[in-house]
Amino acid sequence: MNIYAYVESPIGRLLLQSDGEALTGLSMDVPDAAAPTEPVDRSPATSAQRWRHDASGGVLPLASRQLDEYFAGTRRDFDLPLRLQGTPFQQRVWAVLTEIPYGVTWSYGQLAKRINNPNASRAVGLANGRNPISILVPCHRVIGADGSLTGYGGGVERKRWLLAHEGLLPGSFALQ
């Protein structure tokens, strides 16, 4: 069973996806139009399966509450069952992403070293960009070696907002 729900947040509407037992996706840039009957899922393994909108089903209410707490500044760590679909390399990168503490950034090179492959910065960047559960698997905490805010699937402005929210950048930023 695949279910989805929407969550409103300071960085826009988020789409949560679940297989009924674990969170399988968190997407940004969700249109404000009427709810789709088949949300876009980045995972080819589930793209042909039927989806059902149900904000009260499975892990989705807990995910919604924890995201609300994160955006309110009262939660720094998430405690949710996650199921990330990807290659073994992507899985390794995503697992290490979850080790980046709140309020800390790592470079792509640091992340590559953490997976014991120091020459894989570019591949780490590609895996980072394919992260299906943003925010909870904090790919926004990965920056360029020079401190630059490199690309982000949700847009650099959202990345800037998330990092400022975590106290890593001065001031607050409005999304445009």
* Residues recognised as catalytic: 139
How many C-beta atoms lie closer than 10 Å to residue 65's C-beta? Answer: 12
Strands (E), 23-75: 23-27, 51-53
Q: For residue 117, what are the CA distances in angstroms to 35, 94, 113, 138, 145?
A: 42, 14, 5, 20, 16
Q: Dihedral angle at the C-alpha atoms of 114, 63, 47, 54, nearest 10 degrees?
A: 180
CA distance 43 to 24: 9
Strands (E), the chain: 2-7, 14-18, 23-27, 51-53, 106-107, 142-143
CA distance 141 to 158: 12
